[in-house]
Structure 1
Amino acid sequence: MTETLDHRAVFEQAWSAPGNTPVDLPPVRVNDVLRERYEVRPPFAYTGAQLWDMEVRKAAAPDIYIPTVVKPGSAEKFPSVHHGKLEDFTRVSEQRLWAAPERYATVIEHVRLDHENRQAFFIGADRFEAPDGRIFTAGSGQPIFHVEHSVAGPEDDPLNLWRIVNLTGGPDDALAAAFDDLAEDPYLRVFIEVHLRRDLGRELVRR
């Protein structure tokens, strides 16, 4: 299914639709935050390639890299299809609801990794039939949503970018407000901290 899906076009169409609720989180200049907010041992600064490595790993194993959102052990990744520098797969996981984080629901996402442009698109779906015949159905409690994670900026001073669009029947201010804490957090997002510790062998102490 994912090999026929134009992930970027689906995301951008949903992003611009007046009936949806888009959230554009502030760009994070990762190395500035590392210098200002952390003690890092041994000292370290990200390159764009290293930050993209984090995005690739997170896409495949969200329960490891986003443990504050995805229930541990709940993520399944179904076989990848490669088209040059594009990689498509589907993942299913149990995730906390944006506006009710005490609850989990099944989230189905058709994923495209654009390795050339360092963009990752996650297109939410209501239903998915796995290659082994299992049928997954998205949980209730919030609208289906699409996500874009990407790496931008200079190679030695990369930016972490994150956009979400919720497929609501009309603009939902209460749902948008659920992202305020993420937007105002002065520290790095949890998935970057996990990557630094787990994959890059750094010790981090928040200031």
Structure 2
Amino acid sequence: MHQDNHEEVFAAAWNHDGYTSIEFEPLDVNQVLADAYNSVAGLSLTRTQLWDMEVRKAARPDLFIPGVIREGTARSWGRRRLESGTEVFVRASEQRLWLQPDSYGTVVEACYLNHASQRVTFIGLPEVEDDVGRTVKASPRQPLFHVEHGVSGEEEAPRNTWRIVHLASDDHGAMSECFERISQAAGLPEYVERYIEDVLDWPLTRKR
């Protein structure tokens, strides 16, 4: 891949007949916030804030999805802004395996922040050379995958968007079942909760 064709790589994989593409319904963050949490009167996230969250999370996933990232393993390097205004960098971490969540594996991703469209594209890589010349290899225990996070909707009524494509077939449906369970989880995604509590400094408690 090239330094700026992450979105094209994602689109090609998404449309590949032999791969497994999964997309969640756009999440009405403020509606879920009002429905599922106590003491949130006066709290409403804007589209600008959701994008701020995505930018922060891209570089520091350990701070926003600690339930997924093994502590102390997340790092990123090579961040730079292109002439188009987009930003690129590479990140690596040990993450819970999708189908074996009690185990971790190294995930290596080329990251592309499109500030104009407010989308972040993560392209899974088999291996990469890091900032000190060491080769970092992705775990062979699960297929490579690409992810796209984004923000849509109006400034005062934003939606969080999310889709993933695994570079393998899902012949037995296990991957689809895994993500169906994730999509049905109550409340906001962990990364939105972390942004509200840690960045906006607003404690959250879920309704029973």
TM range (shorter): over 0.9
Please tell me whether residue 12 in structure 1 is matched to residue 8 in structure 2.
no
How far did 1:186 drift? 2.6
Q: Secondary structure at the match of 2:21?
A: strand
Q: Which residue of 1 aligns with 2:195?
A: 195
**Secondary structure of the equivalent of 2:95?**
strand
The number of equivalent residue pairs is 206
AA aligned to 1:183 is S
Q: 2:131 corresponds to which residue?
A: 131
Task: Point out where structure 2 has 5 or more consecutive residues left out of the alignment.
Answer: none
Aligned twin of 1:59: 58
1:161 corresponds in structure 2 to 161
CA contact (8 A) 2:86 2:113 kept: yes
Gaps of 5+ in 1: none
C-alpha displacement of 1:25: 1.4
SS of residue in 2 equivalent to 1:26: coil
| Percent of aligned pairs with the same amino acid | 39
Matched residue, 1:28 = 27
Structure 1 partner of 2:141? 141
Q: Return the offset for 1:170.
A: 5.9
- The runs of at least 4 aligned residues of structure 1 exceeding 2 Å deviation read 40-43, 169-172
The change in CA–CA distance for 1:143 and 1:46 in structure 2 (over 3 A counts) is same
When normalised by structure 1's length, the TM-score is 0.95
CA shift, 1:40, in A, is 3.9
Query: What's the C-alpha RMSD, in Å, of the aligned pairs?
Result: 1.4
**What is the aligned partner in structure 2 of residue 75 from structure 1?**
74
Query: Are 1:2 and 1:110, in contact at CA under 8 Å, matched by a contact in 2?
Result: no
How far the C-alpha of 1:104 sits from its partner, in A, is 0.3
Looking at structure 2, the residues matched to 61 and 155 of structure 1 have their Cα atoms a distance apart, in angstroms, of 24
Distance 1:204 1:9 in 2: 38
2:119 is aligned to 119
Which deviations, in whole Å up to 9, do the C-alpha atoms of 1:50-71 show, x marking residues without a partner? 0000001110111110011111
1:53, 1:43 → 2: CA distance? 20
Q: Structure 1: how far apart are the matches of 2:183 and 2:25?
A: 6
Letter of the 1:117 partner, please give it: S
CA contact (8 A) 1:2 1:90 kept: no
Match of residue 104 from structure 1: 104
TM-score (norm 2): 0.95
**Displacement, 1:176?**
1.7
